[in-house]
Structure formats: structure tokens, C-alpha cells
Amino acid sequence: MKKMYFILCAAAAGMLFIVSNSSPMIKLDLNAQLEKIMAPPKTAQDAYTMRTAVENLDADIKKLTNELGESSRKDLADMPLGKDPEKKSKKMKKYADPEMKKKIKNMTDEEKMALGMQMSREMGMMDSGQESPQVLQALADITRLNNDLLQMSREDVQNINKMKSIDDKYKPKYRDVEDAKKTCPIINTGKEGQDPYPEPKCVHQKTLEILNHNILVEPGRLNEYQGVWSGYKAKIKPLIVQLNNKMASIKYGADIRNPNNRVQVNTAQTTMLRAITILLNITETAQRPAAGLIAEKIEYEKNYKK
């Protein structure tokens, strides 16, 4: 949960839609990447079975994030705005104003498109003398859609609260093994230096009962996580599909003549990857504790036989 919180906080600290400056990662189909994110498991056993797949997917997403970040850092110094951050900050300030954000949210698609074009020109990212009308229109659409996806930051925070509420709701349903052991009969050998201890067979029986009980509680918790996951995906998928289609229409930036204009493609890739990362984190937050219950039982039974 903390991992997701820090990711969201870092994302929320960005500008309205300019979050990085760099050349694009050509043909980075993030719509396909979105479909690789598996939903939360239905049972603790499912969670245990899918642990390797989740770990591998997490590693892939982190690799993409690092590659995109490295591309941004590499080209930042070559961008006009990168050389003048103070000028960039002043130009973006009016668009980051809360009242302006509220106004943008209520705009029609056509108004958002026009605003995106205006913002891009003000930031020096569109040169109508170099770019074709098709590229200019695609860049304006990418800017608008990217801004719409960034506006969902509030939804991300709501997801954190929903997941915390789910965990708090189910916390009282779990039982503690140590508390159960206290109900077992105490054996007192009467031998000097040997402390009384709970009857071993009772401890074993109680331990298995508790472990199995906690495993059986998991489907209810996981079912509620699936609702959070599917709700979030339903909201981000249309935007990611549209963004990816717009990028594909200009060959993920290959059709752009002015290298400075490629910043918008890379910016949108960063935003989409962030949303996909959050979707994966919902799965992980549901899956890892559930898998841990199965792992705990396996470890206990292995050690008991010794």
C-alpha cells in the first residue's frame, strides 16, 4: 500500500500535462501492455499460483519506466524549455491554477482540443511551418487526451482509500494463531528448569484451523479488490486506447519533423505507463497478502514434519 501511495504522490507533483522532455520510445504499444495486467485473484491459492507472473510483470513495468525516464533525462538538455525552466514554469503556472483546472474539466472536447493547441504553441512545441496538418492535429489530440488521463489523479487517491477500507473491513475476520494456542491445555512436567507448555497436538490442530480459516476469508476481500481494479481499468482503458491510436497514426513520433514536438508523445507515454503501474499495484496489493497465507501454511507444515 505504501508503494502505491508514493507512486501517486510523485505523479501528482507533476505539471498539468508536461511531465517530461525527450524523444519518444518508438512503437511503445502501451495498450497491449495494459491488457497484460491480470486482475486480482479470486482465492488465496490463485494468488499463490500467480505470484511469479506478477513479479515478472512488475519487473517489466519497472524496466519500461526506467527506460522512459532515461530517455527523458538524456534529451532534456536539448529541449528549449529544458534550458529555461523559469520560463517554462511561468508559462505553465496559469494552466496549473485550480480554477483553470476546474474550467478545463467542464470544457467540451472541441474546447479542450483548442486549448491543447494553444498551450503547445505557447510552450514552443508546435511549429506549423514544419509539421503537417495531420501531425499537428494528432499532437493536439494527444495533449488533450493526456490531460484527461492526468485529471484522474483524484480517482487514484480514491482507490487507495477504497483498498484501505477493504483491508480494515476484513481485518477483524482473521484469527491469530498465538491467541488460539492460549486455549490449549497446559502441560506441566514438574521437572526443574522445564517450563509449562501448551499440549503439542492441540497447538498443531489449532494452528491448522486458524491458517485454513484465514485462507477461507480471502475470497471475500479479493472480490472487493476485483471491483476496484475493474472500475479503474474501465476508466483508463478508453483514454489509453485513444492515445495509443493517435500515436500510431504518426508512427509513435517518427512522422514528427521538429524533434521538440516529440516531447508530447513521450509525455503521454509517461502518463499512460503511470496509470498502468497503478492498475498493477491494485493487483499486487490484493495478491501478495493472500499468497502469503498459503506460503505460511506450506512453511508450517514443512517444519512440523521435521
Instruction: Indicate the domain borders of the chain.
Output: 2-305
According to the model, what pLDDT value does residue 116 have? Answer: 64
pLDDT at 59: 96
pLDDT at 12: 37
Summary count for the chain: helices (H), strands (E): 13, 2
φ and ψ of 156, to 5 deg: -65, -45
Q: What is the pLDDT, as a whole number, of residue 109?
A: 57
Q: How far apart are CA 16 and CA 101, in angstroms?
A: 8
Specify the pLDDT at position 283: 97
Three-state secondary structure call for residue 128: coil
User: Residue 210: what pLDDT?
Assistant: 95
C-alpha to C-alpha distance for 55 and 240, rounded to whole angstroms: 23
Residues 6+ apart with CB under 8 A from 278: 4, 7, 8, 156, 159, 232
Q: What is the DSSP letter of 145?
A: H
**What pLDDT sits at residue 252?**
85
Residues near 289 by beta carbon (within 8 Å), at least 6 away in sequence: none
- The per-residue pLDDT for 249 is 93
Contact 301, 59 (CB under 8 A): no
Q: Give residue 17's pLDDT.
A: 36
Query: In 10 A of CB 161, how many CB atoms?
Result: 9
Written as tens digits, the pLDDT of the chain (306 aa) is: 544 433 344 333 333 333 333 444 557 789 999 999 999 999 999 999 999 999 999 999 999 888 877 766 654 445 554 445 455 556 556 666 777 777 777 777 566 656 666 666 565 555 545 888 999 999 999 999 999 999 887 788 899 999 999 999 999 999 998 888 888 999 887 777 778 889 999 999 999 999 999 999 999 999 999 999 999 999 999 999 999 999 999 988 888 888 778 778 888 888 999 999 999 999 999 999 999 999 999 999 988 865
pLDDT of residue 121: 59
CB 265 within 8 Å of CB 247: yes
